[in-house]
Structure 1
Amino acid sequence: MRSIRTSAPVGRGRRTVLGAVGVVASLALTATACGGSEEDKADDKPDATASQAADGDGDGGKVTIPSDIADKLKEHGIDVDTWKDGGWEDWDKDKWLREAEDFVNPVIEGLWKPERMRSAEEADKTVTVKDARAAQGVSDPEPAPVRAAAEKTPYHDNAAPVGKVFFDSPDGPAVCSGTVIKDVNHPGRSNLVWTAGHCVHAGGNGGWYRNLAFVPAYNDLGKSEAELSNASPAEMAPYGNWWADWASTSNGWIQGGSSSGGDGAAYDYAVLHVKPEQGSKSLEETVGAALDVDFSAPSAAQAGRMGAWGYPAAPPYNGLQMFKCLDAPGRFSLGSGLPTMYRIGCSMTGGSSGGGWFRVLNGETVLVSNTSIGPTDNTWLAGPQLGEDAEALYQNMSKTYGGQ
């Protein structure tokens, strides 16, 4: 259901606390053990420390097209105004940009309105039975199904770094999930979002997607579809829309990614650098939360329990509410020659793609993977191990674009 390239530069037992995040708003990311009874869940949530938010520099909040993006469009014979007026809808396969340096994503203010967000369909990467059995000698036994639990509202108090990633593909508006992560080179002022590679690039069958935007704490109060029939932008996007001015994903996904994950699934991760459609503060300052990324790539046996967060959009879910699962990971691989991934039991469906997987490391909640692929019966999710290559991608994004 979910699914890379280095650019140039998706529990049983008791409810377990994954740890506190050192950010504003007394945030703590908690995971509900799916499969245990309501009576078998503890209610512990530690306090988080506060961080300072400073006013950012800007030009009065007015969004402008960076000159480098405008120049890149011109190199391909595309006028910026024409692009913003709908030229981006031209998906001529012979002209579909494929190279990392050809990622272009100028802000189209007002494009992602509440009704358009609700129309976006999940970016699904579904593993076939044949693929799932391809490496039975490498993979651990399939985990027991785990039913996803709804996150408590308001989301900004319980899972502030989590949000939705919207984008346009040749098939129309699409949606994934993502997580605000810290920027080691720009502490306290991060504009970085972690998601799946297949949420930014089509893999071996195409190029970069368009109109990529991140909406943290989407539908913050978890309102129903009926309640949101006339929703205002503030209800759907309490922190506004954040447009990606650059995206990085791995060569493994861009070269090997496919509709079922393919050889690229083990490299299915991406980092976005975003800017606000309106405003001047950084994403981390605005949301008041961000997570460190764990690039130690612990084995499934060493990793301990993991929690997966996201906005599942395929039935029986509708993409409006945030859900989570907690489970002890096992090993999963799509081939004996491919890297091992993590796999947990979880009923979340497409739309949860790209959502962060968290664990506790030295008493702190950190991002350790993201939802990549799952089976047609939605009983489990698999995500990549994040090692040296993923860290290099992250560092390049931080150093090259983090200060912008």
Structure 2
Amino acid sequence: MRSLRGPWRPLLAAGLTTALALGLTACDGDTPAGGPRPAAGGKETGDHGGAGAEDLAGRLEEYGIDADRWKEGAWKDWSRDDWLREAGDFVNPVIKGLWKPGRMRDAEDPGRTVTTKDTAAGRGGSDPAPRAVPAEREKTPYHDHAAPVGKVFFDAPTGPMVCSATVVKDPRNPGRSNLVWTAGHCVHAGKEGGWYRNIAFVPSYNDLGKDAAGLAAAAPHESAPYGIWWADWAATSNEWIGQGAGSGGGGAPYDYAVLHVRPESGARSLEETVGNALEVDFRAPGTERLGTLGAWGYPAGPPYDGLLMHRCADRPGRLSPAPGQPSMYRIGCTMTGGSSGGGWFRRDGGKTLLVSNTSIGPADNTWLAGPQLGRQAERLLDMMSRQYGGS
């Protein structure tokens, strides 16, 4: 088994579809998990205009959008249910207190989105399946060893779910990035559905690596040492939205996404708060030139419980999920669902670079595959930096 010792340690040293998340502050309450939440001062349904509409207008103007023209002004009369049903954009209002420590612990892995039929590995263009590489627990505290890595929490129709993600550099805002890299299936259901709700990022989640009992008694800063960061903008590929499926589908080679986040409280950028962000390598080098790749994440499917950060290291091979599609990187790794979206890293000239993210794996959890990040992925990050990075 190859570990991430030596030059890998520590990680800390080392066509696009966009979505608008209108960051209203919603009231705490007893709304069931995953259900609609009221805008500030509003009702569960039927809240037309009022404080909510004023807040929306302010946020639209903040992003340079003419509030009177957006959606032809019809949004002013939308209820909260109308927003969730009618808005083609990603609506992700900040709901302070929603992601409490207990709700984070209870969030499940989106297992169906990280598994695929084993027959996909036998198609032309794929290298032999790698041997399984047992995942190792990351050392604690996580903020000293892998601070840019964290968990993504979101609500799907079946309830609260989790993925993994990485803080990445913003090319137009050096040292002040608010961008997070993850998988497309962690923000959008693909051809089977739409945008997920209540998406938030927690870097270095469960910083001290406590078990369930210990985390239940832990202080809030131990479960979220850098706070909770809400996605106010999101982007993924058109291929994932149009072709992505529970088994990866035709969207798997394009299964990546970028979030622009804001803190639930505070004003500093994510990169300043965490202390680091990783550069993304968009050269899509061939497997023969990559050397060893390391994958980080929070596996939540059995035998893992999603509370602890793990890592794998292996030399990658190629996986061709379907004829005529780009090949994906594949490494041996026993991480399960919940590690989806977690970054894959390489060392190059003394720097740690993100080169892929966890997308799919087999039902027996012996390997993981991730997309090659080329020019299309680079355009996605560039667009997020250009349009929203400075906000």
Q: Which residue is 2:48 aligned to? A: none
What is the CA–CA distance in structure 1 between the aligned matches of 2:275 and 2:74, rounded to whole Å? 38
Q: Is the 8 A contact 1:96 1:207 kept in 2?
A: no
Tell me if 1:258 matches 2:272: no
Q: Which residue is 1:162 aligned to? A: 149
Q: Which residue is 1:110 aligned to? A: 97
Of 265, 290, 306, which residue of structure 2 is paired with 1:319?
306
What is the CA–CA distance in structure 1 between the aligned matches of 2:4 and 2:91, rounded to whole Å? 43
What is the CA–CA distance in structure 2 between the aligned matches of 1:232 and 1:212, rounded to whole Å? 22
Of 337, 346, 360, which residue of structure 2 is paired with 1:350?
337
Q: Which residue is 2:32 aligned to? A: none
Where relative contact order (Cα < 8 A, 6+ residues apart) is larger, the structure is: 1
What is the CA–CA distance in structure 2 between the aligned matches of 1:111 and 1:14, rounded to whole Å? 37
Kindly tell me: are residues 336 and 169 of structure 1, through their superposed partners in 2, closer, same or farther at Cα, counting changes over 3 Å? same
Tell me if 1:238 matches 2:225: yes
Q: Is the 8 A contact 2:331 2:369 kept in 1?
A: yes
1:2-401 matched pairs, under 5 angstroms: 12-13=1-2, 15-19=4-8, 28-29=10-11, 48=13, 67-68=59-60, 75=74, 83=80, 95=85, 99=88, 102-124=89-111, 125=113, 126-133=115-122, 135=123, 137-401=124-388
Aligned-pair distance for 1:75? Answer: 4.5
Aligned-pair distance for 1:335? Answer: 1.2
Show structure 1 runs of 4+ deviating over 4 A. 63-66, 69-79
Unaligned runs of 5+ in 2: 15-39, 41-54
- Which secondary structure does the structure 2 equivalent of 1:351 belong to? coil
Aligned-pair distance for 1:119? Answer: 1.2
More displaced 10-residue stretch of structure 1: 362-371 or 148-157:
362-371
| 1:177-221 CA distance string (max 9 Å, x none) | 000001110000000000000000010011111111000000000
Aligned length: 342
Kindly tell me: are residues 181 and 376 of structure 1, through their superposed partners in 2, closer, same or farther at Cα, counting changes over 3 Å? same
Kindly tell me: are residues 155 and 398 of structure 1, through their superposed partners in 2, closer, same or farther at Cα, counting changes over 3 Å? same
Which amino acid in the other structure matches residue 171 of structure 1? T
Q: Which residue is 2:50 aligned to? A: none
Which structure shows the bigger proportion of residues in helix conformation? 2
What is the CA–CA distance in structure 1 between the aligned matches of 2:138 and 2:170, rounded to whole Å? 26
What is the CA–CA distance in structure 1 between the aligned matches of 2:196 and 2:75, rounded to whole Å? 16
Kindly tell me: are residues 158 and 171 of structure 1, through their superposed partners in 2, closer, same or farther at Cα, counting changes over 3 Å? same
Which amino acid in the other structure matches residue 102 of structure 2? E
Percent pairwise identity: 61
Q: Is the 8 A contact 2:101 2:216 kept in 1?
A: no
- Which secondary structure does the structure 1 equivalent of 2:215 belong to? coil
What is the CA–CA distance in structure 2 between the aligned matches of 1:13 and 1:329, rounded to whole Å? 12
What is the CA–CA distance in structure 2 between the aligned matches of 1:13 and 1:105, rounded to whole Å? 40
Aligned-pair distance for 1:289? Answer: 1.1
Q: Which residue is 1:55 aligned to? A: none
| 1:104-148 CA distance string (max 9 Å, x none) | 111111111011111111122211123333x1x210000000000
What is the CA–CA distance in structure 2 between the aligned matches of 1:75 and 1:230, rounded to whole Å? 47
Unaligned runs of 5+ in 1: 1-11, 21-27, 31-47, 50-62
What is the CA–CA distance in structure 1 between the aligned matches of 2:369 and 2:174, rounded to whole Å? 30
Q: Tell me the TM-score normalised to structure 1 length.
A: 0.80
Which amino acid in the other structure matches residue 161 of structure 1? P
Aligned-pair distance for 1:18? Answer: 4.3
What is the CA–CA distance in structure 1 between the aligned matches of 2:241 and 2:228, rounded to whole Å? 26
What is the CA–CA distance in structure 2 between the aligned matches of 1:383 and 1:104, rounded to whole Å? 27
Aligned-pair distance for 1:13? Answer: 4.3
Q: Tell me the TM-score normalised to structure 2 length.
A: 0.83
Kindly tell me: are residues 379 and 19 of structure 1, through their superposed partners in 2, closer, same or farther at Cα, counting changes over 3 Å? closer
What is the CA–CA distance in structure 2 between the aligned matches of 1:164 and 1:78, rounded to whole Å? 35
What is the CA–CA distance in structure 1 between the aligned matches of 2:153 and 2:326, rounded to whole Å? 29
Which amino acid in the other structure matches residue 358 of structure 2? T
What is the CA–CA distance in structure 1 between the aligned matches of 2:183 and 2:302, rounded to whole Å? 21
Aligned-pair distance for 1:258? Answer: 0.2
Q: Is the 8 A contact 2:183 2:255 kept in 1?
A: yes
What is the CA–CA distance in structure 2 between the aligned matches of 1:210 and 1:353, rounded to whole Å? 17
Q: Is the 8 A contact 2:120 2:320 kept in 1?
A: no
- Which secondary structure does the structure 2 equivalent of 1:377 belong to? coil
More displaced 10-residue stretch of structure 1: 255-264 or 226-235:
226-235
Aligned-pair distance for 1:228? Answer: 1.5
What is the CA–CA distance in structure 2 between the aligned matches of 1:267 and 1:273, rounded to whole Å? 19
Q: Is the 8 A contact 2:4 2:312 kept in 1?
A: no
Q: Is the 8 A contact 2:243 2:250 kept in 1?
A: yes
Kindly tell me: are residues 395 and 183 of structure 1, through their superposed partners in 2, closer, same or farther at Cα, counting changes over 3 Å? same
Aligned-pair distance for 1:77? Answer: 7.0
What is the RMSD computed on CA atoms of the aligned residues?
2.3
